[in-house]
Amino acid sequence: MGFWIFMLIMDLLLPFTMIGFGRYFIKKAPKEINSVFGYRTSMSMKNKDTWEFAHKYCGKVWYVCGMVMLPITVIFMLLVIGKNEDCVGSIGASCIIKSVDVEI
């Protein structure tokens, strides 16, 4: 049961991170255009207007994707509760890999 809890926590990190950064970017973009933090593309960094629009749009996408991934991850992990560690590890790893695929 301890391994299942560990895998559940690890699997939920990505959806919660996407929800958190999505809400943050919807409310406010980083103040200055920079190459360290934020949604950095050549188009988003052209001027302040495109920088703010890109963050608002990206924030909405990340928020929605995180909200969709959250219940899906929980459902898949509930399906393997009480199973052996190999099964839990395989399903947990699949959830993480699919979450990263959705993000990219």
pLDDT value at 96 more than 60: yes
Domain ranges, residue 52: 2-29+38-103
Of 46, 72, 57, 71, the closest CA to residue 22 belongs to 57
Alpha helices in 1-104 (DSSP H): 2-27, 48-79, 85-103
pLDDT, one tens digit per residue, over 29-80 is 788 887 788 788 888 888 888 888 888 999 999 999 999 989 988 988 888 8
Percent of the chain with pLDDT over 90: 24
Domain count, the chain: 1
Supply the pTM of this predicted model.
0.79
Tokens of 53: 């629009």
pLDDT value at 103 more than 60: no
Do the beta carbons of residue 62 and residue 53 sit within 8 Å? Answer: no
Tokens of 80: 């393997």
Of 65, 53, 50, the closest CA to residue 19 belongs to 65
